[in-house]
Structure 1
Amino acid sequence: MTFKFEDIPDLTGKVSIVTGANTGIGFITARELARKNSHVFVAGRDKERCETAVDKIKDETGNNNVEYLPLDLQSLRSVKKAAESFLNRKLPLHILINNAAIMTTPFSLTVEGIMDQFGINHIGHFYFTKLLLPTIESSAPSRIVNISSKGHTRAPDCGIDFENLNNPEAYGPMSRYAQSKLANILFSLELNKRLAGKEVYVNSVHPGIVKTELTRSVDKAWGIWTKPLVGLAKLLFFVSPDNGALTQLYCATSPEIVEKNLRAKYFVPYAQLEEPTVQAKDEELARKLWEFSENFVNERLKKIEEEDKAK
């Protein structure tokens, strides 16, 4: 193992946000950032679970600068409110880890009307990051880590089928998940290009196959018979959340990222560079994804504004 918790440098004075930090690798990531003295925001939807996580991190690390940031990634209204809540604090932001995700859920739409896996795993993080970006830039040197998956290799030949994202008959649960995880890598690619010349280091990560709650929807998508199989696989093959958090912690904190100028790279366990698929390196697809995401967000925000005026 090439990177350990002990290798995380002192983070005194650094401010971090970790989405989906109430459980799994998000929790471990937030805990270890706090252990090294970062001011950490645990961003998530479930108030009770997030506040429990905050208390546990404080108890385990002795760091009282750990806070809950309400964030529901399926709602642009919630994403905007979360970003504004943080920005109103007038704090810097040195580390943003877009960790939250859902996987292989039965087809449904987010509050804003886009396929749930794509909406939560990509669109919500896209908008959240954009809102925080001026502060991230002004806090440089800073890091953005987007948690992807080796599952991106299961995307269709076209990469992301924009026209059929909301077609429940077009793709199965895994292919829908794969497109959202491919989007995470492409977002990193395009964001890095738009940050040219800035000291903001954007990378994406496959954390490994980890024993977390990410598999909780598998039986709903494919049937109850899959539950014991997933349980057995977790027992035999999955890595612990502690190990699963290592690679994103490396990208978020290691001096090597700056020393080696590692940008728009794809990392796999543990803290190793790997080439993603050809689709994940397609700059034209990355540009198209950015434009699609931006147009979607702007259209929905306009609709929200109209709804608010009509009240």
Structure 2
Amino acid sequence: MSWSTHDIPDQSGRRIVITGVTGGLGFHTALELGRAGADLVVTARDATKAAETIDRLRREVPDVSVEDLSLDLADLGDVARAAAELTDRHDRIDVLVNNAGIMIPPYTETADGFELQIGTNHLGHFAWTAALWPVLRASDARVVSVSSLAHTSVRGIDLRSLTTEGSPRKYKRWQSYGESKLANLLFALELDRRIKAAGLGAVSLAVHPGISSTNLQKTGVEMGNPFAGSALKQVSKLASQSAAAGAWSTLRGATEESLTGGEYIGPGSLGGVRGRPQQVGTSSTAKDEDLAAALWTASEAATGVDFTV
């Protein structure tokens, strides 16, 4: 029997934090969780877009419980500020959805000097989760990390990209994107291993949306080539599923009570491109525990954060 949003259990009384809700996947994740009764905390970099998104949520679900939080994952100082603000507001988080991301921009650096994709997609979320960890651990929270099919396109991560000196190799936007999404998956699985080794009640798992029609591809490419951005979006429309369907994996990962950690949830049809969400396989590289441990150590050094589970 295939999963649908009707299978989402009542989320009343549960606080769910979602990064990056102004895009399609984040919005539809928030929308369905709001419909299920969750108390939402949603983050965005742009205050105007955040307000527009909340207005849209309230039009769809008039009684939704939602508050916004400014967060720029490309600025570690802002990550620390936002996490402190969130933990001042709330002493319980039931689910953390690490959804925000950036895709295939021209070479750009974060506020702290890291390549933008690894810095935003991985390091920002690593520091964010670490800063929230005392509350997440006390809440027996579920941490859902959004990865991508693109993680299969690379066979490793150049850990030099997690330094401000950066990797000496030529920048290739697709390669860097693939490595950042592999990092998301490695982080989720390593966090799961550490949680279980510590005997904690928290849960860590990963999801991916298949190929979904959102503004992520168009926005990333248009930073360097407007024509390529529009062309990629048209191709995506032909091969992909809707943003609402793309959010199904995240929604199942965030709410299915039988999941105990370490799972990877993604679309079950056409090689993972689209379809109802189910447990799916990962690349062999994503299972490399030595690489995951090395990535964790490099991430602590890069962010200046001691993430002791």
Q: TM-score, normalised by structure 2?
A: 0.90
- The RMSD of aligned alpha carbons is 1.8
Once the 2 structures are TM-superposed, how far is the Cα of residue 139 of structure 1 from its aligned partner? Answer: 1.3
Give the conservation status (yes or no) of the 8 Å contact 2:206–2:265. yes
Give the Cα–Cα distance (whole angstroms) in 1 for the partners of residues 229 and 177 of structure 2: 18
Stretches of structure 1 lacking an aligned partner (at least 5 in a row): 300-311
Once the 2 structures are TM-superposed, how far is the Cα of residue 229 of structure 1 from its aligned partner? Answer: 2.7
Give the Cα–Cα distance (whole angstroms) in 2 for the partners of residues 295 and 103 of structure 1: 24
Q: Which residue of 2 aligns with 1:267?
A: 265
Would the alpha carbon gap of residues 26 and 47 (structure 1) be closer, same or farther in structure 2, given more than 3 Å must change? Answer: same
For structure 1, which segment, 283-292 or 204-213, has the greater mean C-alpha deviation from structure 2 after superposition? 204-213
1:193 aligns with 2:193: yes
Once the 2 structures are TM-superposed, how far is the Cα of residue 131 of structure 1 from its aligned partner? Answer: 1.0
Give the Cα–Cα distance (whole angstroms) in 1 for the partners of residues 101 and 151 of structure 2: 13
Once the 2 structures are TM-superposed, how far is the Cα of residue 59 of structure 1 from its aligned partner? Answer: 2.4
Once the 2 structures are TM-superposed, how far is the Cα of residue 192 of structure 1 from its aligned partner? Answer: 1.0
Q: Which runs of 4+ in 1 moved over 4 A?
A: none
Q: Which residue of 2 aligns with 1:150?
A: 149
Would the alpha carbon gap of residues 22 and 228 (structure 1) be closer, same or farther in structure 2, given more than 3 Å must change? Answer: closer
Give the Cα–Cα distance (whole angstroms) in 1 for the partners of residues 17 and 183 of structure 2: 21
Once the 2 structures are TM-superposed, how far is the Cα of residue 193 of structure 1 from its aligned partner? Answer: 1.6
> Where do 1:175-194 residues align within 5 Å?
175-194=175-194
Give the conservation status (yes or no) of the 8 Å contact 1:164–1:170. no
Q: Which amino acid aligns with 1:218?
A: V
Deviations 1:247-297 (A, max 9, x none): 11000001221xxx3x22222113222221111000010000000000111
Give the Cα–Cα distance (whole angstroms) in 1 for the partners of residues 136 and 161 of structure 2: 34
Q: Which amino acid aligns with 2:146?
A: I
Give the Cα–Cα distance (whole angstroms) in 1 for the partners of residues 110 and 230 of structure 2: 29
Give the Cα–Cα distance (whole angstroms) in 2 for the partners of residues 168 and 219 of structure 1: 25
1:128 aligns with 2:134: no
Q: Which residue of 1 aligns with 2:3?
A: 3
Give the conservation status (yes or no) of the 8 Å contact 1:209–1:238. yes
Give the conservation status (yes or no) of the 8 Å contact 1:266–1:274. yes
Would the alpha carbon gap of residues 63 and 104 (structure 1) be closer, same or farther in structure 2, given more than 3 Å must change? Answer: same
Count residues in correspondence: 292
Give the conservation status (yes or no) of the 8 Å contact 2:35–2:64. no
Would the alpha carbon gap of residues 170 and 256 (structure 1) be closer, same or farther in structure 2, given more than 3 Å must change? Answer: same
Once the 2 structures are TM-superposed, how far is the Cα of residue 169 of structure 1 from its aligned partner? Answer: 4.3
1:24 aligns with 2:21: no
Q: Secondary structure at the match of 2:92?
A: coil
Give the Cα–Cα distance (whole angstroms) in 2 for the partners of residues 120 and 164 of structure 1: 12
Stretches of structure 2 lacking an aligned partner (at least 5 in a row): 268-275
Q: Secondary structure at the match of 2:18?
A: strand
Deviations 1:158-202 (A, max 9, x none): x11112562474341000000000000110111112211222221
Once the 2 structures are TM-superposed, how far is the Cα of residue 234 of structure 1 from its aligned partner? Answer: 2.8
Give the Cα–Cα distance (whole angstroms) in 2 for the partners of residues 247 and 175 of structure 1: 24
> Where do 1:63-82 residues align within 5 Å?
63-82=63-82
Q: Which amino acid aligns with 1:265?
A: E
> Where do 1:295-310 residues align within 5 Å?
295-298=301-304
Give the Cα–Cα distance (whole angstroms) in 1 for the partners of residues 84 and 71 of structure 2: 11
For structure 1, which segment, 52-61 or 180-189, has the greater mean C-alpha deviation from structure 2 after superposition? 52-61
Q: Which amino acid aligns with 1:186?
A: L
